[in-house]
């Protein structure tokens, strides 16, 4: 009975505000917890130091450490290439016409045959035009003879000046007409404008050649150019004279070329600009042939280049590597966040930073994904 009365009295006192202050109790307990945590950290650190000492000195103490290999980070040149497709253009690629037209009498060469400059390819019927030339020549000779006689008479003050001028005008007009017909006859001949190869002959024997349609195509394969469309973000990264690798898909051959011209116009449809490559072609490429090209758009000497397998990312996507360090005579890892500037062929260009990587470090290679920061490891011999 007395116990029940005591409990009841305590409850009454608490209800009346006589109980200890709860906020003070909470603050005291929190302080006690923080103090215990601090002590625990000190104890854990002391234990870790003792265990590390025992691992190094106690032969009875056995401990399995992660085994890793290392990669020596030495500066070297980093080169980045952009892959693109190009189309071949022959420097000399001409369609040959017959300005006069006429029946195809003879085809003097075969398709694929080499020709010299001025060599006739196809013989066109120009008999009517040749007759006009002959008539014009006869008229020109007559007009010249008349003029010469009239000039002698005029020197002797025989005849009028008008007769002399008329004779001179007829002579000049007939000569001009003859010259025009001769030029027309010359242009009616289907000849090679330069040394090259007859790529195609369009009409057949007996067909009528039309001045509006080509008779043959002649291509010179000594030199060629390649046109490539590049994304506009490369406009300031490539320049005239840069080396370019040209790969021929059909043969697997690789040729070297240089950038001959960089266009400044951006195509609004696909946001590209045109680049022209120049090289000695020989007989390897054909006009309109498609090739693969690799254009160097970045070259950094003395750069920090890391194999991509060594770089990992955390949950936030931040890249990092593990660096091997020595602490108290033991190999230990250290996690360093890095900034990747570019990538090419399984290698990454890393920004040089005095607080991170600056060259000369040994990075964890094999086993990098099995370790954590500040972890002791065992380095494989010869690695």
pLDDT below 70 — which residues of the chain?
1-20, 44-45, 48-49, 51-52, 54-63, 222, 280-284, 382-383
pLDDT of residue 339: 93
Rounded distance between C-alpha atoms, residue 95 and residue 166, angstroms? 44
Rounded distance between C-alpha atoms, residue 294 and residue 234, angstroms? 13
pLDDT of residue 63: 62
Q: What is the pLDDT of residues 307-351, one digit of tens each?
A: 999 999 988 889 999 999 988 778 889 999 999 999 998 999 999
How high is the mean pLDDT of the chain?
83
Strand partners, 262: 275
3-state secondary structure (DSSP) of residue 274 = strand
Inter-CA distances, 316 with 213, 230, 263, 312, 382, Å: 66, 33, 41, 11, 35
DSSP state letters, 29-94: HHHHHHHHHHHHHHHHHHHHHHHHHHHHH-TT------EE-EEE---EEEEEEEEEEEEEEEEEEE
By the 10 Å C-beta count (0-12 exposed, 13-18 middle, 19+ buried), 46 is classed as exposed
Tokens of 345: 């062929």
Domain 82-90+222-299: which topology?
A: Elongation Factor Tu (Ef-tu); domain 3 (2.40.30)
Helical spans, DSSP H, in 124-233? 127-155, 161-188
Rounded distance between C-alpha atoms, residue 330 and residue 312, angstroms? 24
Domain 67-79+302-379, classified CATH 3.10.200.10, yes or no: no
3-state secondary structure (DSSP) of residue 224 = strand
3-state secondary structure (DSSP) of residue 287 = coil
Report how far Cα 98 is from the mean position of its chain's Cα atoms: 42
Would you kindly state where each structural domain of the chain is located, as residue ranges? 24-63, 67-79+302-379, 82-90+222-299, 91-209
Report how far Cα 375 is from the mean position of its chain's Cα atoms: 43
Rounded distance between C-alpha atoms, residue 206 and residue 376, angstroms? 91
- Give the count of beta carbons closer than 10 Å to the beta carbon of residue 218: 26
Q: What is the pLDDT of residues 254-308, one digit of tens each?
A: 888 889 889 889 999 999 999 998 876 655 677 788 899 998 888 999 999 999 9
Tokens of 177: 């007409």
């Amino acid at each position: 009975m007395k116990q029940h009365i005591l409990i009841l009295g305590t409850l009454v006192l608490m209800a009346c505000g006589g109980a200890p202050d709860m906020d003070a109790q909470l603050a005291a307990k929190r302080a006690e917890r923080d103090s215990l945590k601090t002590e625990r950290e000190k104890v854990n650190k002391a234990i870790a130091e003792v265990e590390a000492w025992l691992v190094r000195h106690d032969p009875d103490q056995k401990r399995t450490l992660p085994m890793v290999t290392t990669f020596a980070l030495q500066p070297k040149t980093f080169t980045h290439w952009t892959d693109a497709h190009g189309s071949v253009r022959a420097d000399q690629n001409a369609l040959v016409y017959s300005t006069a037209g006429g029946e195809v009498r003879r085809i003097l060469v075969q398709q694929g045959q080499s020709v010299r400059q001025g060599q006739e390819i196809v013989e066109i019927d120009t008999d009517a035009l040749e007759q006009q030339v002959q008539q014009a020549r006869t008229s020109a000779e007559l007009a010249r003879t008349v003029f010469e006689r009239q000039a002698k008479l005029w020197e002797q003050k025989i005849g009028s000046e008008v007769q002399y001028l008329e004779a001179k005008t007829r002579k000049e007009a007939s000569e001009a007409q003859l010259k025009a017909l001769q030029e027309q006859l010359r242009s009616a001949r289907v000849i090679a404008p330069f040394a090259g190869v007859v790529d195609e002959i369009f009409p057949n024997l007996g067909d009528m050649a039309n001045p509006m349609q080509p008779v043959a195509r002649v291509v010179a394969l000594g030199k060629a150019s390649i046109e490539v469309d590049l994304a506009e973000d490369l406009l300031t990264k490539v320049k005239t004279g840069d080396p370019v690798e040209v790969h021929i898909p059909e043969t697997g051959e690789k040729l070297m070329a240089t950038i001959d011209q960089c266009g400044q116009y951006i195509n609004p449809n696909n946001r590209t600009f045109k680049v022209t490559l120049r090289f000695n072609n020989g007989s390897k490429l054909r006009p309109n042939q498609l090739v693969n090209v690799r254009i160097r758009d970045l070259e950094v000497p003395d750069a920090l280049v890391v194999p991509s397998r060594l770089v990992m990312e955390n949950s936030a996507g931040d890249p990092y590597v593990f660096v091997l360090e020595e602490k108290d005579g033991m190999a230990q890892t250290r996690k360093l966040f890095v900034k990747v500037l570019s990538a090419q062929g399984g290698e990454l260009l890393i920004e040089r930073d005095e607080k991170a990587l600056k060259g000369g470090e040994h990075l964890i290679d094999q086993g990098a994904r099995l370790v954590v920061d500040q972890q002791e490891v065992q380095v494989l011999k010869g690695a």
